[in-house]
A and B are shown apart, each in its own frame.
Chain A
Amino acid sequence: MSIKIILQRLAFLLLVIWSAATITFFIPRISTRNPIRERFGVLARSGGFSPQDMEAIVQSYNRKFGLDKPLLVQYWDYVSSLARGDLGVSLFKFPKTVSELIMEALPWTIGLLLVTTILSFIIGNLLGAIAAWPRAPGWMRGIATPFVMMMGVPPVLLGVFLLFFIAFRMKVFPLGGAYSIGIVPSQTVEFYADVLRHMLLPALALIFGQVGGWVLSMRGMGITIQGEDYVNFAEHKGLGAYTIFKDYYLRNAMLPQVTGFALALGSVITSGIIIEQLFALPGIGTALIDAIKFNDFLAIYGIVLFITIAVAVLMVMVELLYPLIDPRIRQG
């Protein structure tokens, strides 16, 4: 891997981040909604101050956040503060900064999405490899079929069905929330057990929604590899079925799947946002939807950018690490 390729990928990364920043900067500004007015409108209605005072307050807040400057100046301020890693303050949850908002929500999202994506990757690839492996027993190959049939169904619908059958009918798991009402978040075993109980259904919805895709692509890969000379050679050498499966077959079929894993991280974030809404989890998706409800555009920028950067960085990282697992494309 030469320095030139690494620099090329990094330049591309910057371009992606800049485009996302620009698109998200201009869209909320076309909106006629004003988050500051909306926030103080709520306060004014609950009693307090007259409409004249309200105008003065809105004006002074506009000045404070720099919203009275021309749009292009605001854009420049925004991009330069972004380059320093400063995402600004939330307009609606002022004095909280956007970074604080993200940090509060992030553990829930990372916990849920990373665990489910990795688990579905492992389960899906194993099932797919077995489904294509001619020496596997029939019942083992059959396990993959229901997952493939669930492939077209978005996780949120699986979530609705899980809620109905398991939480509503069987009353085994809670209907929503990240932990029970009345439990104070703490570093105790009870708290973690409670969180786990609440996370199981959303996790199952995400896993069922993803496994089928891995099964299909892995099975396709497995079928092409069966005809390869090195697999025949390994068989003629008299190696055991398990060794061939693990070292010759799985290892080679896995390679393209790793690239797919990076892409899956990008698409799972969408399902994650919806699942968080459905199960009322306080993750980053809920933070985004809340920010949108009040047109809190500084928070919207921050969250959208944070997710885009995270996804793009992960993709480039996987691409750059690829030569480590595939020696054939290691360059001098």
Chain B
Amino acid sequence: MTTATATLNEYHQPSRLTLLFRYLRRNMSLVVGVLIILGLVAFTVIGFLTLDTKDAYPLSTKARQPPSLEYPLGTDFFGRDLYAAMVVGMWQTALIGVMAGAIGTFIGVVLGFTSAYFGGLADGGIKGVCQVLTPIPVFLIQVVIAGSLDKRSVTIYTMALIVVLFSWMGPTLVIRSQVLSMKERQFVSVAKLSGLGDGGIIFGEMLPNLLPFIAAAFVGQVFSAVFASFYLAVVGLGPLREPLLGNTIWAAQTQGAFFNGWWWWPLAPAVAMVLILSSLALINMGLDELANPRVRRTE
């Protein structure tokens, strides 16, 4: 009896910070992913502060230097400092990813809501278009678009637009299915019965509850945008002047870097890309666990 009351008195709610740490300990993929991203951000920021970004463009340094103290990652055939090229390329990759990710997620949320909440003709149309477009290998269409553009009009921004043009189907279908199930929940019926309009229900009741899914969809979109823009650049369809990571690999390959013994040239962007993609994949897995309680592990 006494022991029971004692434990009852001793129990106190842990602080929010402790709870957060406990959760993060269970969700290691989120932690590792975020740590890698932070490391990459630090690399880019330090690079921008200490370097002249002009070194990332041709004819700025001695050409074909292997990695040394002066050039930590070496220089390429065209006289670019690869360390500077990595810093600028990483920043541009992030720019494309975030832009395309934001636009794609926004389109997905708008279409998904319209489709599921209002139903009927809109739902049939949106769902039908998504279903027809899904089996078409999207990369082929992106290749055709990027190839049809005049070389000079391909920039970082057009890359983001090309990538987003056929990649909003995924988030649309995810948000649609979530809204469909949430529409039947009781709190939505209560809101409806108490006279709340469509706008109030969507923005006040449903959207806040969907935030984890939207976040997961956003990270997924960033991942696929980085992936797609990297692929386009690797086949030589990127903005050729820019030191985008894929462009650097393409340039190295067309100049026969391995044949000529310049091994450091394609290797630097490849390692950078592996770090970016794996951190995004880890964060995506972690957010998935956060958004989807069914796969959430207990303490």
Enumerate chain A interface residues (CB-CB to B < 8 A).
12, 15-16, 19-20, 23-24, 27-28, 30-33, 151-154, 156-157, 160-161, 163-164, 167-168, 175, 266-267, 269-270, 273-274, 277-278, 288-289, 292-293, 295, 297, 300, 304, 307-308, 311-312, 315
Docked pose: A324 CA to B137 CA in angstroms: 27
Docked pose: A24 CA to B136 CA in angstroms: 11
Q: Does B150 touch A at the CB level, under 8 Å?
A: yes
Docked pose: A186 CA to B227 CA in angstroms: 39
Contact partner of A292 among B139, B143, B227, CB < 8 A?
A: B143
Using CB atoms, name the residue of chain A closest to B279.
Answer: A152
Q: Which residues of chain B have C-beta atoms less than 8 A from A33's C-beta?
A: 148, 150
Docked pose: A27 CA to B137 CA in angstroms: 16
Name 16 extra pairs, CB < 8 A, besides A273-B143, A274-B235: A16-B132, A16-B136, A19-B136, A23-B136, A30-B148, A32-B150, A33-B150, A152-B277, A157-B274, A164-B263, A164-B267, A269-B139, A288-B140, A289-B143, A308-B136, A308-B140
With known contacts A28-B148, A152-B278, A274-B231, A160–B270 Cβ distance under 8 A: yes
Q: Which residues of chain B have C-beta atoms less than 8 A from A15's C-beta?
A: 132
Residues of B contacting A: mostly? helix
Interface contact B231-A156, CB-CB below 8 Å: yes
Docked pose: A153 CA to B278 CA in angstroms: 7
Q: Which residues of chain B have C-beta atoms less than 8 A from A24's C-beta?
A: 140-141, 144
Q: Which residues of chain A have C-beta atoms less than 8 A from B131's C-beta?
A: 12
Q: Does B236 touch A at the CB level, under 8 Å?
A: yes
Docked pose: A308 CA to B132 CA in angstroms: 12
Interface contact B234-A156, CB-CB below 8 Å: yes
Using CB atoms, name the residue of chain B closest to A24.
Answer: B144
Interface contact B263-A168, CB-CB below 8 Å: yes
Docked pose: A288 CA to B148 CA in angstroms: 13
Q: Which residues of chain B have C-beta atoms less than 8 A from A308's C-beta?
A: 135-137, 140
Interface contact A23-B148, CB-CB below 8 Å: no
Q: Does B237 touch A at the CB level, under 8 Å?
A: yes
Contact partner of A160 among B140, B266, B281, CB < 8 A?
A: B266
Interface contact A292-B270, CB-CB below 8 Å: no
Q: Which residues of chain B have C-beta atoms less than 8 A from A312's C-beta?
A: 135-136
Interface contact B135-A315, CB-CB below 8 Å: yes
Q: Could you give 21 example pairs across A and B, Cβ below 8 Å?
A: A16-B132, A16-B136, A27-B148, A28-B147, A31-B148, A31-B149, A33-B148, A154-B273, A154-B277, A157-B274, A160-B249, A164-B263, A266-B137, A269-B140, A270-B139, A273-B235, A274-B234, A295-B147, A300-B147, A304-B140, A308-B136
Interface contact B147-A277, CB-CB below 8 Å: no
Docked pose: A300 CA to B144 CA in angstroms: 7
Docked pose: A270 CA to B167 CA in angstroms: 15
Q: Which residues of chain A have C-beta atoms less than 8 A from B139's C-beta?
A: 269-270, 273
Shortest A141–chain B CB gap in Å is 19
How many B residues touch A, CB cutoff 8 Å?
38
Docked pose: A234 CA to B131 CA in angstroms: 41
Interface contact B235-A277, CB-CB below 8 Å: yes
Interface contact A304-B144, CB-CB below 8 Å: yes
Contact partner of B137 among A28, A168, A175, A270, CB < 8 A?
A: A270
Interface contact A160-B267, CB-CB below 8 Å: yes
Q: Does B133 touch A at the CB level, under 8 Å?
A: yes
Q: Does B230 touch A at the CB level, under 8 Å?
A: yes
Shortest B167–chain A CB gap in Å is 13
Q: Which residues of chain A have C-beta atoms less than 8 A from B118's C-beta?
A: none
Interface contact B253-A152, CB-CB below 8 Å: no
Docked pose: A266 CA to B277 CA in angstroms: 21
Q: Which residues of chain B have C-beta atoms less than 8 A from A311's C-beta?
A: 135, 137
Q: Which residues of chain B have C-beta atoms less than 8 A from A300's C-beta?
A: 144, 147
Give residues of chain B (217-260) contacting chain A, Cβ–Cβ below 8 Å: 227, 230-231, 234-237, 249, 253, 258-259
Interface contact A27-B266, CB-CB below 8 Å: no
Q: Beta-carbon contacts of B148-182 to A below 8 Å, as 1s and 0s?
A: 11100000000000000000000000000000000
Q: Which residues of chain A have C-beta atoms less than 8 A from B144's C-beta?
A: 24, 27-28, 292, 300, 304
Q: Which residues of chain B have C-beta atoms less than 8 A from A267's C-beta?
A: 137
Q: Does B59 touch A at the CB level, under 8 Å?
A: no
Q: Which residues of chain B have C-beta atoms less than 8 A from A152's C-beta?
A: 277-278, 280-282
Q: Which residues of chain B have C-beta atoms less than 8 A from A269's C-beta?
A: 137, 139-140
Which 5 A-B residue pairings sit nearest by Cβ, starting from the closest?
Answer: A292-B147, A152-B281, A31-B148, A270-B139, A160-B270
Q: Which residues of chain A have C-beta atoms less than 8 A from B266's C-beta?
A: 160, 163-164
Using CB atoms, name the residue of chain A closest to B227.
Answer: A154
Q: Which residues of chain A have C-beta atoms less than 8 A from B282's C-beta?
A: 152
Docked pose: A273 CA to B253 CA in angstroms: 15
With known contacts A27-B144, A156-B231, A167-B258, A151–B135 Cβ distance under 8 A: no
With known contacts A164-B267, A295-B148, A300-B144, A175–B231 Cβ distance under 8 A: no
Docked pose: A325 CA to B57 CA in angstroms: 57
Q: Does B145 touch A at the CB level, under 8 Å?
A: yes
Interface contact B150-A307, CB-CB below 8 Å: no
Q: Which residues of chain A have C-beta atoms less than 8 A from B237's C-beta?
A: 292
Interface contact B133-A19, CB-CB below 8 Å: yes
Q: Beta-carbon contacts of B95-137 to A below 8 Å, as 1s and 0s?
A: 0000000000000000000000000000000000001110111
Interface contact A289-B236, CB-CB below 8 Å: yes
Docked pose: A294 CA to B205 CA in angstroms: 53
Docked pose: A270 CA to B136 CA in angstroms: 11
Q: Which residues of chain B have C-beta atoms less than 8 A from A19's C-beta?
A: 132-133, 136
Docked pose: A58 CA to B140 CA in angstroms: 29
Contact partner of B140 among A175, A277, A307, A315, CB < 8 A?
A: A307
Docked pose: A175 CA to B54 CA in angstroms: 32
Docked pose: A15 CA to B136 CA in angstroms: 11
